[in-house]
């Protein structure tokens, strides 16, 4: 490999980087190289808000006095200077060239500066910020957009925060914490803060909030292209749905793996897809980058999909700050390891913005203690992993079904079809199938429509989710991983935990599937049927006190194939309740 040690060598690398960003270094209508600064023509001009006449046709005169030479000048479509590039050899840290490049840029009214040694690139909007490291040069269109937005930019305070907005045909009122979040972001934007972290509990309207704020940024002339990054397909669907509902006047699309990139204003993309495609975009392509459930998105290789882009980064998370890892705070430049804006879940319950819940909790003897058969010990932790027991699963489903039918009218008087929308969290896909089968057995009159399995390998899973949300049946969705997080159905009245959970983050996300309010059915409360004593492990009672620390850095959900499920040993024993099912009020 060649050792690029001289400035000439560095320029070879710079030429390649410029081509990657869409520039043609050989085209003098785009790029001027080794451009001499002439004292008489440009002396004293420091106005970067207006362009000088075209440079591309200028011919250096030998009798003119030169005051310096810049390595590159990038030109707009009319031949006017956009940026100068100061190229240094590899051994030199390019940041130190700021004061060398600055008079050159001011002399020719180029509003931007790039500093590089062929490996490291700094972008300097010297009229507004200090130089900052970027992954690539900006394209001509990127720089022209920045100039244009600067001309039309308005103070955020002049863009009204609406009192109401339309969502899914329903008029909704902005809540006070949503307004306060936007005011805090306004302040950050005006101060030039480039990263912002928001912590709001599941069900408090993070996606609606950010869509309304994006609309205000666009109206203020501060954003034109927006990237919405998520780490699960269900989150992508919901983000695109919200964008196309609230921001319907702006073009949007979902950039999927294997599809062509489109020139739309708003791009929704899976983090896993962007990891393989970020090089298709320059660092300046997007003005705003939203990362949903951002605490899962900034580790190792995943982080590159965020750091490649040099826009205003907004992180969204429902994870309480106590469980957010330190490098999340570092990425979003938060002080004292606290989000820029947070709204505690206790306040959300107290104010009625989240629906309170109660537990129907009980555990069978075999789930608590396991079993011994023919001198063989069966550990309860290995239930549905190495062994199963039909009677245990039947007892859980029968008890849930009985209680759900008894109390659904109390939970939501406006719910017409019993027992109300339900999510059951199973251990494996085979486990999910058996639980759905037992439930459908309890209601033969519904001919198998009462409960459905919704997992990633089910044919037309998206159609099943849509059907679960919008139609009377199925009333019950049994899933593994797919509905644990990022699934939004306001009408859910019952959550059934048929699995052991030891991650505090996952536990809260699963619980959050029921916390959304639903005034149209008069939803007052929801029930968590906890057959594995998870709430006891987390001390989930009058307050949310959790023990331990969250684990798992890579994006969650069913993002890849699971290992094949082994054939289980069916013990065929009669189980019994160790502790009878009782109710515990929470929230």
Confidence (pLDDT) at 550: 41
SS3 552: coil
Domains 7-139 and 355-586 share a fold: no
Domain spanning 156-348: CATH superfamily: P-loop containing nucleotide triphosphate hydrolases (3.40.50.300)
Q: What distance in Å separates the CA atoms of residue 349 and residue 357, rounded to the nearest whole number?
A: 10
State the SS3 of 190-201. HHCCCEEEEECC
* pTM, rounded to two decimals: 0.85
CB 395 within 8 Å of CB 581: no
State the SS3 of 374-429. CCEEECHHHECCCEECHHHHHHHHHHHHHHHHHHHHHHCCCCCCCCCEEEEECCCH
- pLDDT tens, the chain, 587 aa long: 344 566 677 788 999 999 999 999 999 999 999 888 765 544 434 444 444 556 555 544 444 545 678 899 999 999 999 999 999 988 899 999 999 999 999 999 999 999 999 999 999 999 989 999 999 999 999 999 999 998 999 999 999 999 999 998 889 999 999 999 999 999 999 999 999 999 999 889 999 999 999 999 999 999 999 999 998 888 899 999 999 999 999 999 999 999 999 999 999 999 999 999 999 999 999 999 999 877 665 666 678 888 899 999 999 988 766 666 767 888 888 888 889 999 988 889 889 999 989 888 888 889 999 999 988 999 999 998 899 999 999 999 999 999 999 999 999 999 999 999 999 999 999 999 999 999 999 999 999 999 999 988 888 888 899 999 999 999 999 999 888 877 889 999 999 999 999 888 888 889 999 999 999 999 999 999 999 999 888 888 645 533 344 433 333 444 444 556 668 888 888 888 887 777 766 65
> For 332, which DSSP code?
T
Confidence (pLDDT) at 87: 92
Category of 370 on φ-ψ map: left (φ > 0), alpha (ψ -120 to 50) or beta: left
Residue 489 phi/psi, 5° resolution? -145, 105
Q: Where are the domains of the chain?
A: 7-139, 156-348, 355-586
CA nearest to 67, candidates 20, 15, 107, 119: 107
Confidence (pLDDT) at 458: 84
CATH class, domain 355-586, is alpha beta
Q: Using CB atoms within 10 A of its CB, is residue 553 exposed (0-12), middle (13-18) or buried (19+)? A: middle
CB 291 within 8 Å of CB 229: yes
Confidence (pLDDT) at 148: 93
Q: What distance in Å separates the CA atoms of residue 505 and residue 217, rounded to the nearest whole number?
A: 31
Confidence (pLDDT) at 62: 44
Confidence (pLDDT) at 554: 35
Category of 457 on φ-ψ map: left (φ > 0), alpha (ψ -120 to 50) or beta: alpha
Taking CA atoms, 435 is separated from 363, 371, 379, in Å, by 16, 21, 21
**Would you give the distance in Å from CA 360 to the centre of its chain?**
33
Q: What distance in Å separates the CA atoms of residue 452 and residue 432, rounded to the nearest whole number?
A: 9
Does domain 7-139 fall into CATH 3.90.1570.30? yes
DSSP one-letter string for 263-288: --SEEEEEHHHHTTTGGGS-TTS-SE
HSE-up of residue 506 (Cα within 13 Å, Cβ side) = 21
Confidence (pLDDT) at 14: 93
């Amino acid at each position: 490999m060649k050792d690029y040690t001289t400035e000439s060598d560095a320029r070879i690398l710079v030429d390649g980087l410029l081509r990657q960003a869409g520039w043609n270094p050989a085209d003098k209508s785009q790029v001027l190289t080794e451009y001499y600064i002439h004292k008489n023509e440009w002396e004293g001009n420091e106005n970067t808000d207006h362009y000088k006449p075209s440079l591309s046709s200028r011919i250096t005169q030998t009798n003119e006095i030169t005051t310096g030479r810049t390595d590159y000048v990038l030109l707009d479509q009319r031949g006017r200077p956009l940026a100068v590039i100061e190229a240094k050899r590899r051994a030199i840290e390019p940041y130190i060239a700021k004061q060398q490049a600055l008079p050159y840029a001011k002399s020719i009214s180029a509003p931007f500066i790039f500093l590089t040694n062929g490996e490291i690139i700094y972008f300097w909007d010297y009229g507004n910020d200090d130089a900052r490291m970027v992954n690539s040069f900006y394209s001509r269109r990127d720089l022209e957009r920045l100039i244009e937005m600067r001309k039309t930019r308005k103070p955020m305070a002049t863009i009204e925060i609406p009192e109401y907005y339309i969502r899914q045909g329903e008029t909704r009122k902005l809540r006070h914490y949503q307004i306060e979040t936007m005011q805090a972001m306004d302040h950050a934007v005006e101060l030039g803060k480039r990263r912002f972290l928001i912590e709001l509990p599941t069900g408090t309207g993070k996606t609606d909030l950010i869509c309304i704020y994006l609309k205000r940024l666009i109206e203020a002339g501060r954003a034109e292209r927006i990237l919405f990054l998520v780490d699960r397909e269900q989150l992508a669907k919901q983000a695109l749905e919200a964008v196309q509902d609230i921001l319907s006047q702006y073009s949007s699309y979902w950039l999927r793996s294997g599809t062509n990139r489109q020139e739309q204003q708003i791009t929704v993309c899976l983090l896993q897809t962007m990891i393989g495609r970020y090089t298709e975009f320059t660092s300046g392509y997007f003005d705003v980058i939203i990362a949903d459930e951002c605490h899962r998105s900034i580790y190792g290789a995943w982080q590159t999909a965020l750091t490649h882009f040099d826009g205003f980064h907004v992180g969204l998370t429902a994870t309480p700050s106590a469980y957010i890892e330190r490098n999340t705070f570092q990425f979003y430049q938060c002080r004292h390891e606290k989000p820029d804006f947070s709204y505690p879940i206790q306040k959300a319950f107290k104010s009625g913005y989240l629906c309170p819940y109660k537990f129907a909790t009980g555990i069978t003897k075999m789930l608590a203690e396991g079993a011994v058969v023919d001198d063989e010990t069966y550990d309860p932790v290995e239930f549905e992993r190495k062994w199963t027991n039909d009677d245990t699963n039947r007892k859980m489903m029968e008890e849930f079904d009985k209680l759900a039918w008894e109390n659904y009218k109390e939970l939501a008087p406006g719910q017409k079809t019993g027992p109300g929308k339900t999510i059951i969290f199973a251990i494996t896909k085979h486990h999910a199938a058996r639980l759905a089968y037992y439930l459908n057995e309890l209601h033969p009159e519904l001919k198998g429509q009462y409960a459905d399995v919704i997992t990633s390998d089910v044919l037309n899973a998206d159609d099943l989710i849509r059907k679960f949300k919008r139609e009377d049946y199925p009333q019950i969705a049994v899933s593994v991983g797919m509905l644990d997080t990022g699934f939004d159905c306001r009408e859910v009245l019952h959550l059934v935990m048929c699995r052991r959970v030891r991650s505090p983050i996952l536990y809260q996300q699963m619980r959050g599937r029921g916390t959304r309010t639903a005034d149209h059915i008069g939803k007052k409360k929801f029930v968590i049927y906890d057959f594995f004593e998870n709430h006891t492990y987390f001390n989930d009672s009058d307050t949310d006190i959790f023990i331990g620390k969250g684990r798992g850095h890579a994006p969650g959900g069913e993002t890849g194939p699971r290992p094949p499920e082994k054939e289980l040993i069916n013990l065929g024993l009669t189980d019994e309740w160790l502790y009878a099912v009782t109710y515990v009020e929470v929230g």
